[in-house]
Amino acid sequence: MNINNIELNKIHESLWEIPKHGGMRVPGRIYISENMMQNSLQNDDALKQVINVAHLPGIQKFSLAMPDIHWGYGFPIGGVAATSVEDGVISPGGVGYDINCGVRIASTSLSLDEVQNRIPKLIENLFKKIPTGVGSSGAIKMLSKADVKNILTKGSAWAVENEFGNKNDIEFTEESGCMKEAYVHSVSERAIERGLDQAGTLGSGNHFLEVGVVENIFNDAAAQTMGLFKNQIVVMIHTGSRGLGYQVCEDYLKILHRTSEKFGFDLPDKQLICAPLNSQEGKDYFTAMKCAANFAWNNRQIIMELARRAFKSTFSISDEELAFNLIYDVSHNIAKIEDHSIDGKLRKVCVHRKGATRAFPPGSSQIPRKYLEIGQPVLIPGDMGRYSFIAVGTAKAMDETFGSSCHGAGRIRSRNKALELGKHRDIISELRQRGIVVQAKGKKTLAEEMSYAYKDVKDVVDVMDSAGIINKVAKIKPLGVIKG
């Protein structure tokens, strides 16, 4: 197949390969259906970015892309690349501006028939308790710089120590909610200042808190292990490191551009700016990224606790009656040092996941004991007008994608194009007619985030499921959403 003058060879129905050519050090591989390829990538340069990433020094096996692929900064969104720890690089473009943007989902004991009439009131209370929008300030007191620095090193543990949730939440958070060796000296004063009032804030854009109902279960055993049942009320939270993470990325892009000649890399796109993992610049970016990742986990932890309180007050029930439990929290904009099989040998590599989520298999030492038999929960939100999915990782993911899967639906229209399509439409009423209650700071965000701006997440998930990278567990239908 030829897309935008790029030749792709079909490996199977869900996987295509761009052969190694020119300065590519490895082939490019894209998990996607033929129909999605033709419909979503004809006017998108994301495939070119897959080729560009394949030029990175030390890249291993493949430059990968998931079916939610679309153009991003340097790397495509939906991109995955692993680089050698010995002679490879780390690239901020492989993580993104919103460091550790991620998703967590919590279960409740409530069923739809018990609460359906109270959903509008619940959404109203959630919107009051959880700050949303650009520049939103936290629901907790203004932090000191010392507080922020503690968050950067402790992650979710800071929130739990300050009575936002409990230790069980940490167990069910990727990396236990904290990347180690997160040294605050690598984070600028400006980044710390931007974090002073943003702990416990949702932000804007595609970030959201969604109340949903379990509509379908595909894997009874996995669902039971996660505590899921049909018609159950669940809560999904999608946000990241806010202005602090953005500033970390911006700071290090400037630093790396200033020092790029020092390393002498010949790369096809300046947005792929990078540094050797073992250089001082590479080490400084990596530890600053870890700090921002910890801020994001803490942020989602606080928001989850605020949501729990809104549920309790809305339904006048106790913690025991509500049973508001974290199923899992996954990151989808991050770089990590992991052990993976390369040419039959276990090697340490730096896995960049940019708009991609971890999908580790049953038996992995990196997932909670509760999930050892089923694999790591993989959380894949769609758009606010359709549905989302919960899946689990597989051994095949470890073999083929460095234990990675898709992270969401993936945009098919720019924000500007989505705004044009949303002109003169009453989006809140349209969603209400679908049984979805929405509260948002502005109509602009709603227009940018409607279903017409995104691929159908079912198509995305089905590609990964059919390829054996994940196994579907449940489908979640939205009932109410808050946005910035």
The residues annotated with a catalytic role in the active site are: 407
DSSP 269-303: -GGG--EETTSHHHHHHHHHHHHHHHHHHHHHHHH
The two beta strands, 77-84 and 63-70, are antiparallel
Phi and psi for 385 in degrees, rounded to 5? Answer: -105, -5
Q: Which two tokens stand for residue 400?
A: 């083929």
- Tokens 């921002």 correspond to what residue? 292
Among candidates 103, 57, 287, which has minimal Cα distance to 210? 103
Give the distance between the most distant pair of CA atoms in the chain. 64
Give the three-class secondary structure for 461: helix
**How far is Cα of residue 193 from the mean position of the Cα atoms in its chain?**
24
How far is the CA of 434 from the CAs of 69, 452, 467, in angstroms?
Answer: 28, 15, 32
Report the 3 state secondary structure along 21-87: CCCCCCCEEEECCHHHHHHHCCCCCHHHHHHHHCCCCCECCCEEEEEEEECCCCCCEEEEEEEECCC
247, 241 contact by CB (below 8 A): no
* Token pair 């804007």: residue: 204
SS3 438: strand
